[in-house]
Amino acid sequence: MRGMLCDNSAMSDERFTSVGAASTTRGRMVSIGLLGFASGLPLALSGGTLQAWLTVAGIDLKAIGALSLVGLPYLFKFLWAPALDRWQPGRYGRRRGWLLVSQLTLTGVLLVFAVCQPQVAVMPLALLALLLATASATQDIAFDAYRAERLAPAERGLGTAWSIAGYRVAMFASGAGALLIADQWGFQAAYLCMAGLMALGIVTSLAAAEPPQALPPPRSLREASLGPLLELARRPGVFALLSCVLLYKLGDQFAGALAQTFFIRGQGYSLTEIGAVYKGLGIAAVLAGGVVGGLTMMRLGLWRSLLMFGVLQMGTNAGFLALAVSGKSLVGLMIVVGLENFCGGMGTCAHVALLIALCDSRYTATQFAALSALASLGRVLLGPVAAVVAAQGWVTYFALSCAVALPGLALVLGLRKRLTALDAPVAQ
């Protein structure tokens, strides 16, 4: 009887430990999702929503076009990322401290937006938009570092899915949602509401736990700037790993570079059809794909997930090829767009998990900013090449997009041991 009681007690302790671990994981995921929401909220407010406000206010078209340059901080955020690795503002920790600094700045700027009148003076609004974009890019750096350090290896895929879901919902809120509010009560009211939503990020940053530091931060700004590059350069097989970062999504990026042009010119779909299918169904599919991808990664690990999701991504490019061969079909469009976004969401989970796994905890902010810039390089530079290929025909274009995906898959296969080793738990 005593043995049975001991066994039952042990089983009970194990059950409570499991429940506690699951509860802790859920808490982390909720925090990551809410911080992802805060990260995605400012983007449209210095972009499309601001552009709509200026257009309604009757601002000159050239001035509106010039204001698109306020988005430059997002491209160059890696330049001040070392400062976020080096210094800790306040008493809330290195990662949460910078999250709070950027979020408080964003909230203040949005409140000032709410009293601006662009028809009276557009320059103050332009300066505010530049400050908004800079603070938003800083929040992105801090959030990427927080997510990378807060998630255990097995949680990276699911955590990425939660952050992407929060980011997408925020973009909808600050885009379509802000425009709906502006249509009823004006843009000042819309920006005031967005400032209120940004308070969610502040509350989350205050309530969330600071990631544990396995290693001390850089001792100087020089070390914070050069240390991340030197640390990456010293790794065995670094060129192959960085090539994998660059090439893994290249086929997907190549196919997507002119996808909407293909739907309009190549297939003859209306803007309403594209908006309903490509935007509506596509967003739902990419969110679902992210969640399924994150859950799958918890079972398969990084290497097998990268391989499987990469094959699926290439398969959806073949779906576009089938559309180009068969001709216009609304049902076919819905199937291909749904699958492409679903598999793309899975691939993005694995790709971001790879970037997280490659970061050294001393330099997470700088390394993630640099690696994500490398991963985005193909998307930025593929446009001119894609246009030349598309001029030869859409069948040729999408056939080549399948071929472009092969080098990334070959690298994943060749790097099996190194990618599998990245799943090892990090000592805390």
Amino acid at 312: L
Residue 50: closest CA among 194, 201, 260: 194
Model pLDDT, residue 203: 95
Q: How far apart are CA 147 and CA 303, in angstroms?
A: 20
Q: Quick count: other Cβ atoms within 10 Å of Cβ 255?
A: 29
H, E, C per residue of 333-396: HHHHHHHHHHHHHHHHHHHHHHHHHHCCCCCHHHHHHHHHHHHHHHHHHHHHHHHHHHCCCHHH
Cα end-to-end span (Å), the chain:
40
Q: Which residues of the chain have pLDDT under 70?
A: 1-23, 214, 278-279, 380, 424-428
Q: How far apart are CA 158 and CA 221, in angstroms?
A: 33
Relative orientation angle of helices 250-257 and 364-390, to the nearest 10 degrees? 50
Q: Which two tokens stand for residue 422?
A: 């990245």
Q: Which long-range contacts (CB under 8 A, 24 or more apart) does 57-63 make?
A: 57/118, 57/119, 58/119, 59/118, 59/119, 59/122, 63/122
Q: Please tell me the total number of residues recorded for the chain in this structure.
A: 428
Model pLDDT, residue 333: 86
Q: How far apart are CA 205 and CA 96, in angstroms?
A: 6
Question: How open is the CA angle 252-80-43, to the nearest 5 degrees?
Answer: 50
Query: Is the separation of the CB atoms in 122 and 14 below 8 Å?
Result: no
The DSSP symbol for 70 reads G
Q: How far apart are CA 276 and CA 421, in angstroms?
A: 42
Residue 129: closest CA among 142, 144, 110: 110
The DSSP symbol for 151 reads S
Query: Is the separation of the CB atoms in 248 and 412 below 8 Å?
Result: yes
Model pLDDT, residue 14: 43
How far is residue 405 CA from its own chain's centroid?
A: 21
Whole-structure pTM value: 0.82
Q: How far apart are CA 100 and CA 320, in angstroms?
A: 44
Place of tokens 């976020």: 84
Amino acid at 53: W
Domains along the chain? 27-207 (1.20.1250.20), 221-421 (1.20.1250.20)
Q: Which two tokens stand for residue 402?
A: 């399948």
Place of tokens 């700088």: 366
Place of tokens 């603070």: 135
Model pLDDT, residue 339: 93
Residue 283: closest CA among 153, 119, 172, 120: 172
Q: Which two tokens stand for residue 279?
A: 């935007």
H, E, C per residue of 27-39: HHHHHHHHHHHHH
Query: Is the separation of the CB atoms in 39 and 133 below 8 Å?
Result: no
Q: How far apart are CA 125 and CA 220, in angstroms?
A: 36
Amino acid at 208: A
Which class for 149: exposed (0-12), middle (13-18), buried (19 or more C-beta within 10 A)? Answer: buried
Query: Is the separation of the CB atoms in 251 and 379 below 8 Å?
Result: no
H helices of 114-186, in order, are: 123-150, 156-172, 178-185
